[in-house]
Chain A
Amino acid sequence: MTTTLARSASRRLRQESSRLFVIRELGIVAALTLLVVVTTIVNPRFLTSQGIKDLLLGSTILAILAVGQTVVVITRNVDLSAGSVLGLSAFATGSLFVAAPGLPIPVAVVAGVLLGAACGAVNGGLIAAVQVPSLVVTLGTLYVFRGIDYTWASGRQINAADMPGAFLSMGNTTPVMTMFAIVVLVAAGYYLRAFRSGRELYAIGSHPDAARLAGIPVGRRVLAAFVVSGALAGLAGVLYAARFGTLDANAGTGLELNVVAAVVVGGVAIFGGSGSVYGAAIGALLLTTIGSALPALGVSPFWQRASVGALILAAIGLDRALAVRLARTLRSGR
């Protein structure tokens, strides 16, 4: 009798907690849908094939960065150097094509990813080996990587003419670019859910000391998370070069805040342990959509930053409210 009661209570609890989870993910999707629908009603030209293409192209780079950032944030860390790594990798890709004009595109992609991974290894190595806060270390490497970028570029600019046409057209072909984002997203999402080391990243973020006591190689996992984040920033850099064609040392400046914003809006807990790459990717899509919806709605584009800020505040406020509710539910049952 008591067992039956407990079983049904526990089922109710499970439904409740998964419902709250779904509310969170659905919330962003609903916000996104609402924005698109309203914008389309006001301005039917918003959802033309060109409009959709611009949206997807625009969100690809941010989504890839957001996936990398999520992997790091889940472990209760943060990677502020993502924008600088993107800049460095983008300029490196351009320089590579200048130095070797006939270079196959996959080689350039691999080179960019490796460069990013190396930057990530520097971050992760410092954080894992010396156990210093990632916020400070990646703030430092944000300056350092950008400084290296400036030194390397020393005022030069790489133009579309310096890069092969096939590469540039890849950067403006929606299916190809979107494919990059989807492959990265699904691979990361599946890895985080279905593999031991993926689950260990959540464990580390949820309770670092317990993770250590459970025998999880915390340092190695955190290092790996930063390498992944760096590699994806590197990939994003290559795509950035392909999409924009014109490159100087300023590529991706300030982008790190947009990435963190996408992750937070996507429902990834800023203090680790919970959240999904899918949420972060939708967050990236939402931020990009706001950017293009405002002009379509006839609102001054100067409102964009302010609305992103308001969205971040709304997202963390919503997370807080949901967490409080979930905690109340969980306390009441087994």
Chain B
Amino acid sequence: MRGVVRGLSSWEAVVVIALVVVVAVGALAIEGVASPRFWRFVSLEVIPIALIALPMTLVIITGEIDLSVASVLGLTCATMGQLWVWGVTSLPLLIAAALLLGALLGAVNGLFVTGFGLPSLAVTIGTLALYRGLAYVILGDRAVADYPPEWASAAIAPIPGLTIPWMIIVVAVLAAGFGVVLHATPIGRGLYAMGNNAEAARFTGISVRRTTFWLFVATGAMSALAGVFWTLRYASARADNGNGLELAVIAAVLLGGVSIFGGRGRLAGVLAAVLLLGTLRNALQLADVPANTLTIITGSLLIVSVVGPNVVVKLRARKDRSWQRGVPWRFSPR
């Protein structure tokens, strides 16, 4: 327990406390926040963001970034829709195809980054456009929406006796898996080492390229899983599914205390931030606060999440920072 407390940096504690405060104040001040239905909506909204935020946390901790996640989600949706139109009616087959496609798209990102040594920021801006573009090529402006209604109800079915959808259990299990890998295995130690100093990591026998490649593959597969959930939940496959979601995911990861420079952050903080943003959005909607205020709040929180810790660090004034590179965001100097 002491280890857990010590592990939480001051910023993660701030996020967790903010979450508690938002829930408490919301429950008292806004009618409906205390209701089980509210939490059902929050969970449904949070599931795809959380699914993508899990691998994204690892990617950003290693000092890379993946901006193409929402486009992978969109292309997955479009492909599932087209397969359905072509007569593939087996759900397991559709899901398997989607996950495989996601892994493949992630592998393309990984290949460009690790194989050709290109900066992930530029590569995934490219594939952001490319994958979304391919989704449009497949579906155009059509929407595939004639899935069996049982699929949607199965995807969002609650845990028996509760209102929360059972998919939350899947998310929780995956989160536990990612958390253990990141914080309690030799692989996780390697990820932090890579994020802080890729060269030192190589001199320690960590295969930086291979690890980075597989992280991009995992991110692609998880984005595809989010795409499967998206398709089933809304019973609709469109090329613009999840458009702009990458910003929401990255906002949540950074708000959760993960450093954009890599090497710093914990999964617990990210999960708290995902919940915080989801709860806030739904609570304010209940309180009839217009959606645009929410946009402003999200943006401001994001800025606070980098400015806050930085001001704290500045006040503490580290003795020796000469070894820190003055790079505004990290890249792979291969």
Contact = CB atoms under 8 A, between A and B. Distances in A.
Interface of A: 76-78, 126-127, 130-137, 139-151, 154, 208-209, 212, 249, 254, 257, 260-261, 264, 270-271, 300, 302-313, 316-317, 320
Contact of A306 (B134, B291, B301, B327): B134
Contacts of B295: 143-144, 146-147, 150
Interface stretch (B113-121, B154-162, B180-188, B193-201): B113-121
Interface string B317-330: 00000000111110
A305 B166 CA distance: 36
B331 interface: yes
A50 to B, nearest CB: 26
Contacts of B311: 130
A270 B303 contact: no
B129 interface: yes
Interface residues of B, number: 55
Given A133-B261, A142-B247, A312 B122 contact: yes
Contact of A270 (B122, B299, B307): B122
Q: Is the interface of A mostly helix, strand, loop or mixed?
A: helix
Q: Is the interface of B mostly helix, strand, loop or mixed?
A: helix
B250 to A, nearest CB: 7
Given A132-B303, A140-B306, A144-B296, 18 more contacts: A130-B306, A132-B307, A136-B254, A147-B292, A150-B291, A150-B292, A151-B293, A151-B296, A154-B290, A254-B244, A257-B125, A264-B126, A270-B122, A300-B137, A305-B136, A306-B129, A308-B129, A320-B118
Lowest 4 CB-CB distances: which A-B pairs, in order? A309-B130, A306-B133, A143-B299, A305-B133
B123 interface: yes
Interface string B269-305: 0000000000000000000001111111111111101
A270 B127 contact: no
Interface of B: 112, 116-119, 121-123, 125-134, 136-137, 140, 239, 244, 247, 250-251, 254, 260-261, 290-303, 305-307, 310-311, 314, 325-329, 331
Contacts of B327: 76, 208, 271
Nearest to B259: A133
B326 A264 contact: no
A143 B298 contact: yes
